[in-house]
Amino acid sequence: MGLLAFLAKLADWRRRDQLSGELDEELNFHRAQLERDGGAGHARRRLGNLTRLKEETRDMWSIPWLDQLQQDARYALRGLRRSPGFAATVIVTLALGIGANAAMFGVVDRLMFRPFAYLKDPDTVHRVYLRWHDRGTVRTDNWMEYTRFLDLQKWSSAFSQYAAFADRNDAVGVGDAARERPVAVVNASFFDFFDAPPALGRYFTASEDSLPRGADVVVLGNAFWQSEYGSRNVLGTVLQVGDMHLTIIGVTPRGFAGVAEGEAPAVYLPITTYAGSRRGNQGTTYYRTYNWGWMDFMVRRRPGVTVTQASADLSQAYVRSWNAEAATDHIAPASVAKPEAIAGALKEAAGPDPGLEARTALWVSGVALIVLLIACANVANLFLARALKRQREMAVRLALGVSRGRLLRQMLTESLLLAFIGAIAGVLVAQWGGAGIRGLLISKEGASLAVIADWRTLGIVAGAAVVAGVLTGLAPALITRRELATALKAGTREGTYQRSRLRTGLLVAQGALSVLLLVGAGLFVRSLERVKAMRMGYDADPVLFVERNNRGVNLDDSALVRLNLSLLDAAQRLPGTEHAALNTTLPFWSTSSTSLFITGIDSVRRLGRFTFQQATTDYFRVMGTQILRGRGFTPEDRASAPRVMVVSDGMARRLWPGKDALGQCVRVRADTMPCTTVVGIAENIVERDLTGTDRFNYYMPLEQDHLDFADGLLLKMRGDARAQQEAVRGALQKLMPGASYVTVQSFGDVVDGQRRSWRMGATLFVAFGLLALIVAAIGIYGVIGYNVAQRMHELGVRIALGAQSGDVVKLVLGQGMSFALTGIGVGLILALVVARFVEPLLFHESAKDPAVYAGVGLVLLAVAMLACALPALRATRADPNAALRGDS
């Protein structure tokens, strides 16, 4: 039957009662006509038996399976209305399980799978990743130089399209409207990857994106155009981006974001315009040298080229490019570095080197799946309990001739109905709880997105509901295959209760899976604790950092010094400021290093990478970095005074092992420089990565060098630093000449960002672990409670024969705890096996941490005990009289 024919039939099916009535009326009319023309007898003879006619006609608008389905659904609804507690428990349990999965799928889909809007034929588009060997370790990176991009484009042949692109943050607009915004700098060919006709104007052309510097044109992002220009026709208007003055030539269509993962770029400009406008050497050599790796590169495979062939083609081009670089720079030869290029996923999270966060997100989705499994086990158990209760009803219906298939269908209808109600509730759960998860995982902007953003998530939810419905509906069907006669013969009370291996199995599985999740939760929580407890060497939370951006305003050195000093002075006068200092670098933000020369050491460089900070007097007070020995900076460390430096503990130990670093002489930048004397030793700081061990930093007073080197300042605030960000910006911005501006950011936020993957892992594992624990506790409680209810008669007899309350409690608890202990045991072993796979995601935490395992075991034991306690107490109230009087 074709779809249209089926739809016609379905339409008739829906109004079959009406159709039937109409047919009756029509036949009555026919009869009346016959009577009029030939008399009553004639009519009776002709229309004597209409049953066959009606049956034949009605068959045409009936769909038997749909009739049955409707019947089953009505039956199921009636049954559920009679046991609302059961229905509610099932729905809530499934809602939690399905909701958790919908939320996690939404996140993982966004991170890894959902293609970028407007992208043509996404399967053939790749981001290019480079891999090489560097002193024993394999490095994978997707940042490369423009020169490298040109090389790979020139020497590869497997691709039909190439585009270089980079996401930057830059000031957009002038005056009060100027803000740092995401800026996409892309090749003209970038737009050819998409099927996205501009909403207004045009995109830039290859001639506007040419070497050495492209044209001064810009394309606006749709959202930016709407919010800043109210969708006016702005073509031809000039917009300042950074220190470039660009003419607006077009606007992207709504929803276009290029290949940006987070916020959509505000503007798109030619990559050569951006790079060619860079000051100094970079602006003129970026396409000829290999020392500025800053952009990404995407390609489209030619038809018929496989991914493997594409990677091979890129790799040979990369080897040639590597050799070209080796000819001018001192890098390891290709034979040692083994350079290799990969045509990988456009989404970095799905590429060869996904970040810690993407990997954690994948693990957490596995966790969500386990929560769903536990929920299913639980619901299956509830259905089983119900099926046992309804065994007689089923037996009677079977005896009356209802087929087993029909019964099975009925049970499936019931479970699927509940699963779908649960799924709808689950979407609500995901919508509500998912905002938090996405906030943790993606970005602040991502948090506000709807969970059901497209059919993909909807499909997953529906799929999860079907799986849950079938799994939970089939379980009771298995046990109704009992002998009819036995069930019919048995009274409502039986002497012995039935143990079901399936039910206890499900219970043990639930317990084991909960243990697994809770162990994961424990490991991540310990990691987070360790990350947080780790002394970073500074107190980030009260610190704001101000970046000064000249944006093309030309200031000579002395003007810069004056500006810096006036900024420092203004910052110190702010009511919320405790200390302030001009600085040059900041942990997790930027680092500097230079050559050091020390008598008695051949090559300082070979001992490690030593990075320096130049800042004004109050630096250590602003950062809260402790001076362990010696002194910090004082106002006496002026340009005219002897040069001094403070070194980190790690650096002191590395450079002068076994000796006192204080008083040592270091020559900075050149061995002809005068001595810089070590006057203090500061605690180690975490500068680039939380997990590293080399902490080599040194500090020099900015006053002894050039004050114009500082491109920002640090402020230690009283009270909530983040709340004062805007006030600080407003106060300092007033001092900035022309289009130059300052940005103010919370250093605490920057440091927090570094801990994100652990915080995310801990939060989500704990949330899902607790969810699993609650569901498992409900499971144990349900099963033990049901067993007690079934054994009331037997327990009554026991009490009548002299059993004490204590004996009864022991009996019930004993049974419950034996399930629990088995589950815990299995779970702990399982956890030991699985946990080592998450170890790379942990921070200074062993996947075999005994404290975690013991803690989880105890928690589960306590919860199981609680879940059994209520039924056990109820068991002590078994009435011996009722037991003895009752039938049997």
Partner 1 sequence: MTQTPDNRRELLPGTLDMLILKSLTVQPMHGYGIAQHILRLSGDVLFVDEGSLYPALQRMRQQGFLKATWGRTPNNQRARYYTVTRAGRRHLGERETGFAAVIEAMLRVLKPA
Give residues in contact with partner 1 (CB under 8 A): 5, 8-9, 12, 19, 22-23, 25-27, 29-30, 32-34, 45-47, 50, 52-53, 56-57, 60-61
Contacting residues for 37 by C-beta, under 8 A, at least 6 apart: none
Residue 48 or 175 with smaller CB distance to partner 1: 48
Torsion 630-632-637-642 (CA) sign: positive
Q: How far apart are CA 846 and CA 606, in angstroms?
A: 32
Residue 38 or 212 with smaller CB distance to partner 1: 38
Q: How far apart are CA 125 and CA 346, in angstroms?
A: 7
Beta carbon of residue 398, minimum distance to partner 1 (angstroms, whole number): 37
Structure token digits, residue 635 = 């106002």
Beta carbon of residue 43, minimum distance to partner 1 (angstroms, whole number): 10
Q: How far apart are CA 224 and CA 873, in angstroms?
A: 66
Beta carbon of residue 71, minimum distance to partner 1 (angstroms, whole number): 23
Tell which residue, 458, 460, 378, 369, has the closest CA to residue 415: 378
Cβ–Cβ contacts within 10 Å for residue 70, how many?
13
Residue 30 or 338 with smaller CB distance to partner 1: 30
| Amino acid identity for residue 859 in this structure | V
Between the alpha carbon of residue 131 and those of residues 141, 150, 352, 353, 718, the distances in Å are 6, 18, 10, 10, 47
- Report the phi/psi class of residue 200: left, alpha or beta, with left for phi > 0 and alpha for psi in -120 to 50: beta
Contacting residues for 641 by C-beta, under 8 A, at least 6 apart: 704
SS3 letters for 67-100? HHHHHHHHHHHHHHHHCHHHHHHHHHHHHHHHHH
Beta carbon of residue 62, minimum distance to partner 1 (angstroms, whole number): 12
Q: How far apart are CA 301 and CA 230, in angstroms?
A: 39
Structure token digits, residue 729 = 């910006």
Residue 23 or 117 with smaller CB distance to partner 1: 23
Residue 35 or 208 with smaller CB distance to partner 1: 35
Beta carbon of residue 67, minimum distance to partner 1 (angstroms, whole number): 17
Beta carbon of residue 47, minimum distance to partner 1 (angstroms, whole number): 6
Residue 5 or 400 with smaller CB distance to partner 1: 5
Please, are residues 99 and 433 in contact by the beta-carbon 8 Å criterion?
yes
Structure token digits, residue 449 = 């997105």
Beta carbon of residue 14, minimum distance to partner 1 (angstroms, whole number): 13
Residue 48 or 236 with smaller CB distance to partner 1: 48
Residue 44 or 245 with smaller CB distance to partner 1: 44
Between the alpha carbon of residue 324 and those of residues 263, 318, 431, 536, 585, the distances in Å are 37, 10, 53, 42, 33
Residue 47 or 474 with smaller CB distance to partner 1: 47
Beta carbon of residue 69, minimum distance to partner 1 (angstroms, whole number): 21
Q: Is 860 exposed, middle or buried (0-12, 13-18, 19+ CB in 10 A)?
A: buried
What residue has token string 């990559």?
271
The neighbouring-strand residues paired with 698 are: 612, 647
Residue 33 or 70 with smaller CB distance to partner 1: 33
Residue 51 or 335 with smaller CB distance to partner 1: 51
Residue 27 or 789 with smaller CB distance to partner 1: 27
Which helix (H) or strand (E) element contains residue 619?
Answer: helix 619-623
Beta carbon of residue 52, minimum distance to partner 1 (angstroms, whole number): 6
Residue 46 or 444 with smaller CB distance to partner 1: 46
**How does strand 697-701 pair with strand 611-615?**
parallel
Residue 5 or 177 with smaller CB distance to partner 1: 5
Beta carbon of residue 73, minimum distance to partner 1 (angstroms, whole number): 25
State phi, psi for 180 to the nearest 5 degrees: -75, 125
Ordered alpha helix ranges (H), 277-306: 282-285
Beta carbon of residue 12, minimum distance to partner 1 (angstroms, whole number): 6
Q: How far apart are CA 379 and CA 776, in angstroms?
A: 11
Between the alpha carbon of residue 334 and those of residues 339, 388, 762, the distances in Å are 6, 71, 42
Please, are residues 351 and 383 in contact by the beta-carbon 8 Å criterion?
no
Structure token digits, residue 524 = 């991540």
Beta carbon of residue 30, minimum distance to partner 1 (angstroms, whole number): 5
Residue 36 or 330 with smaller CB distance to partner 1: 36
Beta carbon of residue 41, minimum distance to partner 1 (angstroms, whole number): 10
| Amino acid identity for residue 634 in this structure | T
Beta carbon of residue 50, minimum distance to partner 1 (angstroms, whole number): 8
Beta carbon of residue 66, minimum distance to partner 1 (angstroms, whole number): 15
Please, are residues 171 and 344 in contact by the beta-carbon 8 Å criterion?
no
Residue 54 or 688 with smaller CB distance to partner 1: 54
Q: How far apart are CA 300 and CA 124, in angstroms?
A: 5
Between the alpha carbon of residue 741 and those of residues 175, 184, 185, the distances in Å are 9, 21, 22
Please, are residues 171 and 242 in contact by the beta-carbon 8 Å criterion?
yes
User: How far does the chain reach from its first CA to its final CA, in angstroms?
Assistant: 57
Collapse the DSSP code of 531 into the 3-class scheme (helix H, G, I; strand E, B; otherwise coil) and give the result: helix
Q: How far apart are CA 65 and CA 697, in angstroms?
A: 77
Residue 26 or 726 with smaller CB distance to partner 1: 26
Cβ–Cβ contacts within 10 Å for residue 298, how many?
24
Beta carbon of residue 16, minimum distance to partner 1 (angstroms, whole number): 11
Beta carbon of residue 445, minimum distance to partner 1 (angstroms, whole number): 51
